Amino acid sequence: MTMINQLNKSRGFVGTMSSAWWEGFSKRHLCLTLRIAPCVSQQRHISSHSTVLNQYFDVLEETLTEYDLMKKPNCIFNMDETGVAMEPDQPKGIFLKGKRRPMMLSSGLKGQFTVRGGRIRLTFEQ
């Protein structure tokens, strides 16, 4: 309701919407639902676009070919990094029902702790 009230205030509406308003609105618009969406930074949102991902895999293939690593998987290492946002109170948003992973953009400046992990395969030649 806070989101609706802020939107109305910015448009000059005086007063607040009640939860009864949301119930009526959602009954009239069955395709909408109220959910908490994880916040992602603008940069992560841009980098998850399909053209960016396709470009990444094109460059990866070129690099593996250039260094003759296409048939040497034992020389390729995987490193992962994940971050856990320190934002316990994420706002709810209105989304179309059935959307599997709705996202809301955040500033990306909020605190988080990051975990890095790697998997290294050791091979010994005799």
* Domain residue extents for the chain: 31-119
CA-nearest of 40, 37, 48 to 107 is 40
Phi-psi region for residue 118, left (φ > 0), alpha (ψ -120 to 50) or beta?
beta
DSSP 8-state secondary structure symbol assigned to residue 75: G
Q: Which residues of 84-106 are buried (b: 16+ CB within 10 A; e: fewer)?
A: ebeeeeeeeeebeeeeeeeeeeb
Nearest partner of 39 among 81, 113, 91, 82, judged by Cα: 91
pLDDT tens for the chain, 126 residues: list them. Answer: 677 777 778 888 877 777 788 888 889 988 888 777 666 666 677 777 888 888 989 998 999 899 998 888 888 877 777 666 666 566 666 777 777 666 666 655 556 556 666 665 555 454
pTM of the model: 0.38
